[in-house]
Amino acid sequence: MPLGEFELIDRFFRRPARRSPLGIGDDCALLAPAPGMQLAVSCDMLVEGRHFLSTVRPERLGHKALAVNLSDLAACGAKPLAYTLALSMPRVDEAFLAGFAAGLHALADAHEIELVGGDTTAGPLNLCITVFGEVPAGAALLRDGARPGDDLWVSHPAGEGVGGGIGDARLALEVFRGTVSLPGEDFEAVRRAMEQPQPRVALGMALRGVASAAIDVSDGLLGDLRHLLRRSGAAVARRESGTAGPGDCTLGVTLDTAALPRSVVLAARPEALQLTCLLTGGDDYELLFTAPPAARGLVERAAASATVGVRRIGRIEAAPGVHLLDAHGRPLAFEGQAFDHFRT
Amino acid sequence: MPLGEFELIDRFFRRPARRSPLGIGDDCALLAPAPGMQLAVSCDMLVEGRHFLSTVRPERLGHKALAVNLSDLAACGAKPLAYTLALSMPRVDEAFLAGFAAGLHALADAHEIELVGGDTTAGPLNLCITVFGEVPAGAALLRDGARPGDDLWVSHPAGEGVGGGIGDARLALEVFRGTVSLPGEDFEAVRRAMEQPQPRVALGMALRGVASAAIDVSDGLLGDLRHLLRRSGAAVARRESGTAGPGDCTLGVTLDTAALPRSVVLAARPEALQLTCLLTGGDDYELLFTAPPAARGLVERAAASATVGVRRIGRIEAAPGVHLLDAHGRPLAFEGQAFDHFRT
């Protein structure tokens, strides 16, 4: 007889409760944020064929499902506390579940958080994780705080090794799509970037009070940058006139494409492919953030304390528009869209 | 051109923020529970064909997706605060979305809660809602507080009209399955019970400090009752011996099946069908709870304040076992399983 729903939870997901006043298994989980803390909440749903390929190792899928959610907490500067998992699967596949749970628990342990509840059901494979973090009231990094003249920064793996960096996940996807071929070890490196992103939680927390705005790069750098510019532009307009609502105004940016941090694998590809991967790739889970030029030293120190690289890649402008510059400081034409789940 | 992901959110789901410090649209939602409050969190995933039929009206689906989650808050005695929605859909169907959002927002407004975040993606239809509520620290209704001698109670719609009551949702499902046929208006009544359950939020809050344990009836009365008996038995054993862990012990119950509140539609069906629907039906979203006999007056008053009916249906026993009694107080044999998503 196959495992039932409750045995499945007991076998693969129940672990001793450490932080939550309850373990899993009651109608609700109970969380008690510390006094003066706000609770940051984010929720991401992963669907086979959209967010992961059927070929992904279950351990890596478990890692990624939690990592993309932790990345949202990182973009708010929140300290992770707990998460819930809702899981729909066609059937109970014990090998899959054991691997998935191992990858999930390993990343959860690395961030000292625990599973506090969730749901399991039969159905097409679908993973929905909701993460909870805490941040001192008023200290969350938001998308709307960028101001003209701010520097634009992006994080990258410390040391910029063979694997990792903006654009690697997209490069791996192009290999799977058959449009690019790579030597085996190069493919493994970029595939790891796609399948095991590292959420920049420590950096996000270190940037509290330093960054003026932040977002994580999940749908492609240009697309996510536009969200930040629009939200910040609307905030500037609201402050100045008290009339304009969100979406009516936007800030602009000058972006130095040569400064975009990329892995040696990506750097060896043709320039057009590099730009596509860097600017519209998505699935990067690096932090894209702004800070006043006076805070450059603080940004560098925050990155060092989080053992993450950061690179200054441009400047926020008062006038709308994304101005791309090439390695010689000349305007660069680029046509590309951010990822949209219903248009791609 | 079809609607994109962000237009979709703007069009159907963005509304003015009232309670959350942010609207939707940043990396995380921020929640600030009041001092001394714990945050109750629950998460349910609904899959087409499992939790709802493709024939359901989108308004009712929007209602139900939120209602089943609010029911978990009710079972903890928590006051609803906010929710997130993750939605996977094969394509952007504007008529579906408009109806779904209308049903969702109507129930959210009735409980004065708002959507604070979420995710949308292309994929097989899947709805995952996470709800947040608050409850004074230590006051949550849990599953593990029942004690031998406690009364067992179940809620039901006030007045016990034509529609509503334990078992109606299952009766409607049997009509869809073709095993039962009902006159049109009777079918509409039980179908409404299946598609538009009313979460017993006010009752749950009123039972704080009155009920010793509570659970909502989602997988069938007997199955959910067994969860409550096991958790409570383990708690009793832990207190008495300090040795037994969860699952090692369970309490028992004597259940007066004649007392189970049922609609006039269900009461007109054959006895065996009534028992199946009442005891193993599921999808009822009534509260099943225990309280000491001395608290009977308080339970009745809590129910009256919540404008909900409650019925005393049995007694918790120290010895394990579910003893069903018929209308004459004689033992009743019944073979039936609770709903299990991977075994049904």
Q: What angle do CA B245, B145, B84 make, to 5 degrees?
A: 95
Question: Does A16 lie in the same domain as A98?
Answer: yes
Choice among A10-24, A218-232, A270-284, B194-208 with the minimum mean pLDDT? A10-24
Q: What does the alpha-carbon distance between residue A97 and residue A95 come to, in Å, rounded to a whole number?
A: 5
pLDDT band at B49 (very low <50, low <70, confident <90, very high): confident
Average pLDDT (B301-306) is 97
Question: Does A191 lie in the same domain as A74?
Answer: no
The alpha-helical segments, DSSP class H, found in A180-258 are 184-195, 201-206, 221-241
Taking a C-beta distance cutoff of 8 angstroms, is the pair B303, B185 a contact?
A: no
Contacting residues of A for B246, CB less than 8 Å apart: 25
Question: Does A166 lie in the same domain as A121?
Answer: no
Q: pLDDT tens-digit profile of A70-97?
A: 999 999 999 999 999 999 999 888 899 9
Give the best residue of A13, A14, A22, A27 to mutate against chain B (max B CB count within 10 A). A27
A134 by Cβ neighbours in 10 Å (0-12 / 13-18 / 19+) ranks as: buried
Question: Does B131 lie in the same domain as B161?
Answer: no
Between residues B31 and B268, the one the model is more confident about = B268
**Which tokens is A176 given?**
């799977």
Question: Does A183 lie in the same domain as A80?
Answer: no
CA distances from residue A334 to A179, A257, A272, A322, B338 in whole angstroms, order as listed: 20, 11, 9, 10, 58
**B300 located within any domain:** yes
Chain B residue closest to A204 (CA)? B27
**A343 located within any domain:** no
B20 and A CB contact within 8 Å: no
Share of chain A above pLDDT 90, in %: 66
CATH value at residue A311? 3.90.650.10
What residue type is assigned to position B46 of the chain?
L
**A62 located within any domain:** yes
**B236 located within any domain:** yes
Q: pLDDT tens-digit profile of B171-201?
A: 999 999 999 999 999 999 999 999 999 999 9
Strand spans (E) along chain B: 29-31, 37-47, 79-89, 114-122, 126-136, 151-156, 213-216, 252-256, 287-291, 309-317, 321-325
**B207 located within any domain:** yes
Look at chain B and report how many structural domains it folds into.
Answer: 2
> Smallest CA–CA separation between A88 and chain B, in Å?
8
Question: Does B116 lie in the same domain as B11?
Answer: yes
Q: What is the DSSP-derived secondary structure letter of residue B3?
A: -
- B 213-232 residues with CB below 8 A of A? 214-216, 227, 231
Question: Does B67 lie in the same domain as B192?
Answer: no
pLDDT band at A33 (very low <50, low <70, confident <90, very high): confident
Nearest alpha-carbon partner for A228 in B20, B120, B26, B13 = B26
Question: Does A80 lie in the same domain as A167?
Answer: no
Nearest alpha-carbon partner for B106 in B70, B59, B74, B72 = B59
B92 and A CB contact within 8 Å: yes
Nearest alpha-carbon partner for B254 in B189, B179, B331, B328 = B331
Known binding-site residues of B equal: 27, 42, 44, 51, 72, 118-119, 143, 216, 218-219, 283, 339
3-class DSSP state for residue B88? Answer: strand
Q: In which domain, by residue range, is B228 found?
A: 151-325
> Torsion angle of alpha carbons B272, B274, B279, B284, nearest 10°?
150
3-class DSSP state for residue A62? Answer: helix
Chain B residue closest to A343 (CA)? B4
pLDDT band at B1 (very low <50, low <70, confident <90, very high): very low
pLDDT higher than 60, residue A5: yes
Q: Do B133 and A91 touch (CB under 8 A)?
A: no
pLDDT band at A119 (very low <50, low <70, confident <90, very high): confident
A161 and B CB contact within 8 Å: no
Q: What does the alpha-carbon distance between residue A195 and residue A197 come to, in Å, rounded to a whole number?
A: 6
**B167 located within any domain:** yes
CATH value at residue A55? 3.30.1330.10
A73 and B CB contact within 8 Å: yes
> Smallest CA–CA separation between A45 and chain B, in Å?
6
